[in-house]
């Protein structure tokens, strides 16, 4: 599994559904560079069980991300037509109608490969014929990308394990606090908590306030 933190996020242009109904041909995260932070996450497949709970959970908190000048973008190996159909299906019928942020189609699986979240790989025989080994879907990868296009946070869950949207918001808050103030955020930091100056002395002071040593 590649560690992309500290590196430029892999670039791509792909078909996507935006605003819950509009199919665009060349969606790219590059449009947000210099403007917004990005939460880019992968999910295994449309019309499944855990995936809609995550997709809808992000939508439920979309205003919180907007307050932080952060966009949310989802991606799976399904086609743009599958995304569109799922977005038109009522939630009571297993759909995700009401979701407004972009869902990217990675039908060729190249985006998942480049972010190293594809649950399998292609192998070629001596005749050059490709065969896929593993599961042709993405793990639940999540990447927080700053305004420079650099990955600052990475999380990858196995397919059965859903993610915490509140934790994603916490990480966005911590990243933006550091960018604005130059102070680092200790364990369990939440917006409004005290942070630390990045020196060894400040670490000792912080620990002394948090713990009583015998």
The 10s digit of each residue's pLDDT in 74-104 is 999 999 999 999 999 999 999 999 999 999 9
CA distance 104 to 37: 17
Q: Are 152 and 131 in contact (CB under 8 A)?
A: no
Q: Is 11 left (phi over 0), alpha (psi -120 to 50) or beta?
A: beta
Q: Please give the CATH architecture assigned to the domain spanning 14-161.
A: 3-Layer(aba) Sandwich (3.40)
CA distance 77 to 44: 7
Q: Are 121 and 137 in contact (CB under 8 A)?
A: no
Mean pLDDT across the chain, nearest whole number? Answer: 92
Q: Are 89 and 57 in contact (CB under 8 A)?
A: no
23-68 pLDDT, tens digit each: 999 999 999 999 999 999 999 999 998 999 999 999 999 999 999 9
- In this structure, what are the phi and psi dihedrals at residue 60, rounded to the nearest 5 degrees? -60, -25
What's the predicted TM-score (pTM) here? Answer: 0.90
CA distance 89 to 75: 18
pLDDT score, position 127: 83
Per the DSSP assignment, residues forming a β-bridge with 120 are: 134
Tracing tokens 């605003």 back to the chain, one arrives at: 19
User: For the chain, what percent of residues have pLDDT higher than 70?
Assistant: 92
If we measure between CA atoms, which residue out of 121, 119, 123, 110 comes closest to residue 137? 119
CA distance 54 to 49: 10
At 205, is the pLDDT very low, low, confident or very high (cuts 50, 70, 90)?
Answer: low
If we measure between CA atoms, which residue out of 142, 120, 140 comes closest to residue 132? 120
Is 51 assigned a catalytic role?
yes
Q: Domain locations in the chain?
A: 14-161
Q: Are 133 and 121 in contact (CB under 8 A)?
A: yes
At 211, is the pLDDT very low, low, confident or very high (cuts 50, 70, 90)?
Answer: very low
Determine which of 37-41, 107-111, 205-209 has the lowest per-residue pLDDT on average: 205-209
Of the candidates 29, 39, 51, 151, the residue annotated as catalytic is: 51
């Amino acid at each position: 599994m590649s560690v992309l933190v500290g590196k430029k996020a892999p670039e791509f242009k792909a078909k996507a559904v935006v605003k819950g109904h509009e199919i665009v041909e060349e969606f790219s995260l590059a449009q947000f560079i210099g403007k917004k932070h990005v939460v880019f996450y992968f999910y295994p497949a449309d019309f499944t069980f855990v995936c809609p709970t995550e997709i809808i959970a992000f939508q439920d908190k979309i205003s919180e991300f907007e307050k932080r000048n952060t966009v949310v973008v989802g991606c799976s190996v399904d086609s743009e037509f599958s995304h569109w159909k799922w977005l038109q299906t009522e939630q009571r019928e297993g759909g995700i109608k009401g979701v407004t942020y972009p869902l990217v189609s990675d039908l060729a699986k190249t985006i998942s490969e480049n972010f190293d979240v594809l649950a399998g790989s292609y192998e070629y025989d001596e005749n050059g014929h490709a065969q896929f080994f593993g599961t042709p879907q993405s793990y639940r990868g999540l990447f927080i990308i700053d305004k420079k296009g650099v990955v600052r946070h990475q999380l990858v869950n196995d397919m059965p394990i859903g993610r915490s949207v509140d934790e994603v918001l916490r990480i966005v808050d911590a990243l933006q606090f550091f960018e604005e103030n130059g102070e680092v955020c200790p364990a369990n930091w939440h917006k409004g908590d005290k942070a630390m100056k990045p020196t060894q002395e400040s670490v000792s002071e912080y620990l002394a306030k948090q713990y009583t040593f015998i």
